[in-house]
Amino acid sequence: MKFYYLSKQANDDGVVSIHADSCEQLPSILERVYLGIFDNSRLAAEAALSKYQVLNLETCFCCK
Ligand SMILES: [Zn+2]
């Protein structure tokens, strides 16, 4: 189980990213939204989709 966060800031392509708390790319505390504790990034992504109606979502490459 890991803590997962959603980036508040979309990238240039309008994609927001999901990061685990162990991630080196984790945005600063002001630039991320706490999603919850999940077994894997897929579950975290599902939670983000249902909770925030995010259209373009990706998981950070090292957090998959
Ligand atoms: Zn990562």
Query: Separation of 22 CA from ligand 1 center, angstroms?
Result: 7
Residue 61: CB partners within 8 Å, gap ≥ 6? none
Number of domains, the chain: 1
Nearest C-alpha neighbor of 63 from the set 19, 16, 24, 29: 19
47 CA to centre of ligand 1 in angstroms: 18
Give the pLDDT band (50/70/90) at residue 64: confident
Has residue 30 been placed in a domain?
yes
Residue 39: give the domain boundaries.
Answer: 2-59
Residue 39 is assigned to a structural domain of this protein: yes
Give the pLDDT mean for 17-27.
95
For residue 43, count CB atoms less than 10 angstroms from its CB and return exposed for 0-12, middle for 13-18, buried for 19 or more: middle
**64: in domain:** no
Q: Is residue 55 part of a domain?
A: yes
pLDDT of residue 15: 94
In a domain, 34, yes or no: yes
